[in-house]
Amino acid sequence: MIESSKSGIPSSLACSLEPILRKQTNNRLDNIHWFRTDWQRGGAATAFATWNDKDKETEVVVKLPVNQRELFWTRQMQEPDSVVPLLLASGEQLNGYDLTWMIIERFPFGPLGKHWEPNNIERVAQAAARFTKKASSFPVDQKGRREDWKTLLKAAKKSVRENHLEKESTWKKMHSLIGKKLDILIEIWRSRRIDQWLHGDLHLANAMCRSGKPDAKVALIDLAEVHAGHWIEDAVYLERQLWGHNTRLKATKPVSSMASARRALGMYVDDDYSNLVDVRRLMLAATAPAFMQSEGDPRYLASCLLQLQHSLDRLHLK
């Protein structure tokens, strides 16, 4: 793991719990250094450390607190050459507090987001397919996510007006067209198959490697967003990271890479998934202005508008 760290301790609670954490792990934990990455979200404290076991010293990462979903999936997905981090220790209490924590391997290479390589997307898509295939041994016991598209579209329209986005009139025209077909689009999307577990936060910053070889398998970290759904959700989420990088997007084709990775593992791929992909693209692109703080980059928004127009054309909704 080669991500940069910021100075300072992200959580005084984490520091105060260090002696308890050491004791609870039979003093196998040492050299703890708390840090925070540039892309890290949420309030979890994270540290690099060393793990001592039978005269063997291993570089590890300490995370606390982690949510129950992340701990559950990290525990359940353990196997040799796992698509998730190797788990060395974990618990749901510290010093009498209900505080979930875990100690995982520190990957020597990655994240892939630090250095662009032409096969990055293909390798991440393969990891996502491996994750879903491994997770398929656990029953899907929840409904899929149901975004409130009507509220999001309303917020996007308001943002376009208030922020006077470039090509404001085109945005308004596209939003008007979508508004007339919104119920149909929502119905198409909500009729998708929801029968598999998805990573849910599939991007290059969550893609790590145990080897520096150019074709090394990717492992996925940060499992807090794992949820039931359709594989297209992960595929378009991955693709969306490249909106605004047209050269990379054309060269990699994340959705078709995901479909190919699934087929190679003998997994289900819809005979005609293109319409569902375009509905997902359309809805995400149309509502992007509602999230100006995280998605307000002008180049990204310009790409969203192109995605919106192309999806409308392919769906014959104009």
State pLDDT tens for residues 163-179.
Answer: 999 999 999 999 999 99
Measured between alpha carbons, how far is 201 from 224 in angstroms, rounded to an integer?
Answer: 8
The full DSSP string for 89-107 is: EEES-BTTB---EEEEEPP
Identify the CATH assignment for 12-106 out of 3.30.200.20, 3.30.2320.50, 3.40.50.1860, 3.10.20.520: 3.30.200.20
Going from the C-alpha of 309 to that of each of 8, 45, 166, 300, the distances in angstroms are 45, 42, 15, 14
Q: Supply 170's token pair.
A: 């085109």
Residues of the chain with CATH 3.30.200.20: 12-106
Range 82-99 average pLDDT:
92
Q: Give the closest residue to 264 by CA, choosing from 157, 123, 73, 90.
A: 123
Helix axes 120-135, 231-240, angle to 10 degrees: 160
Domain limits, CATH 3.90.1200.10, in the chain: 113-315
pLDDT score of 40:
53
Helix (H), strand (E) counts: the chain: 12, 9
Residue burial 127-164, b: 16+ Cβ < 10 Å; e: rest:
bbbbbbbbbeeeeeeeebeeeebeebbebbbebbeeee
Three-class SS of residue 66?
Answer: coil
Per residue in 270-291, pLDDT tens? 988 999 999 999 999 999 999 9
Residue 9 in this model has a pLDDT that exceeds 60: no
pLDDT, greater one: 42 or 191: 191
Return the structure tokens found at 122: 């293909």
Q: What percent of the chain has pLDDT over 70?
A: 93
Reported as a pLDDT band with limits 50, 70 and 90, residue 1 is very low
Topology of domain 113-315, CATH:
Aminoglycoside 3'-phosphotransferase; Chain: A, domain 2 (3.90.1200)
Measured CA distances, 162 to 6, 19, 157, 177, 309 (Å) = 35, 51, 9, 20, 22
Return the half-sphere exposure (C-beta side, CA atoms, 13 A cut-off) of residue 257: 23
Q: β-strand 101-105 against 87-91: which pairing, if any?
A: antiparallel
Q: Write down the pTM of the prediction.
A: 0.91
CA–CA distance, 60 with 69 (Å, rounded to integer): 21
